[in-house]
A and B are shown apart, each in its own frame.
Chain A
Amino acid sequence: MSEKKKGKLSPVIDYKKHEDPFSKGVAFCPGCGLELLIRFIPQVMGNDIVMTGTPSCSAPVLLGQNNQSWHSLSYFGTLMTGAAANATGLVRYYNRAGIDNTVVCFNGDGTAADIGFGNMSGAAERNEPFIYICYDNEGYMNTGIQKSGTTPYGASTTTTPVAKGSRGKNLRRMNLALKMAMSKIPYAATATLSDLGDLAKKLLKAKEMKKNGFCFLHVFAPCPTGWGYDPAMTVEVCRRAVKTNYFPLWEAENGKIRMTKTVNKPKPVEHYMEPIKKFKHLDDNDRAILQEDVDYELCMLGGLSILEKECVLPEAAD
Chain B
Amino acid sequence: MSKNTYFKHEGPWSDANDPLMCSDTGDWRTKRPIVDKDKCIFCGFCQIYCPVQVMEMVGDSHFEADLGFCKGCGICAQECPKQAITMVSEGEFVS
Contact = CB atoms under 8 A, between A and B. Distances in A.
Given A1-B61, A9-B42, A39-B51, A68 B74 contact: no
A230 interface: yes
- Of all A-B residue pairs in the complex, the 3 with the closest CB atoms, nearest first, are A232-B74, A31-B73, A64-B13
A26 interface: yes
A74 B15 CA distance: 9
Contact of A13 (B13, B25, B44): B44
Interface string B8-44: 0000111110111111111011000000001001111
A30 B72 contact: yes
Nearest to A196: B48
Interface stretch (A17-25, A129-137, A256-264): A17-25
A25 B75 contact: no
B68 A233 contact: no
B38 A67 contact: no
A32 B50 CA distance: 10
A71 B14 CA distance: 9
A234 B79 CA distance: 10
18 contacts: A4-B41, A9-B44, A10-B43, A10-B44, A22-B20, A23-B20, A23-B21, A24-B66, A24-B69, A30-B51, A31-B51, A36-B49, A39-B53, A64-B13, A69-B14, A71-B16, A72-B20, A234-B51
A12 interface: yes
A231 B75 CA distance: 7
A234 B37 CA distance: 25
Contacts of B77: 232
Given A27-B23, A64-B13, A72-B20, A232 B38 contact: no
Given A4-B38, A25-B69, A196-B48, A231 B22 contact: no
Given A24-B54, A64-B13, A68-B18, A235 B49 contact: yes
A64 B75 contact: no
Contact of A25 (B13, B25, B42, B48): B25
Nearest to B78: A232
A122 to B, nearest CB: 26
Taking chain A's interface residues, is the majority helix, strand, or loop, or is none over half, making it mixed?
loop
A20 B13 contact: no
Contacts of B54: 24
A5 B41 CA distance: 6
Interface string B76-88: 0111010000010
A143 interface: no
Given A31-B51, A36-B49, A6 B73 contact: no
A79 to B, nearest CB: 16
B42 A69 contact: no
Contact of B15 (A25, A69, A231): A69
B68 A24 contact: yes
Given A27-B23, A67-B6, A12 B14 contact: no
Contacts of A152: none
Contact of B75 (A26, A27, A234): A234
B28 A8 contact: no
Given A9-B43, A23-B21, A25-B23, A35 B16 contact: no
B90 to A, nearest CB: 13
Contact of A69 (B18, B23, B47, B72): B18
Nearest to A9: B44
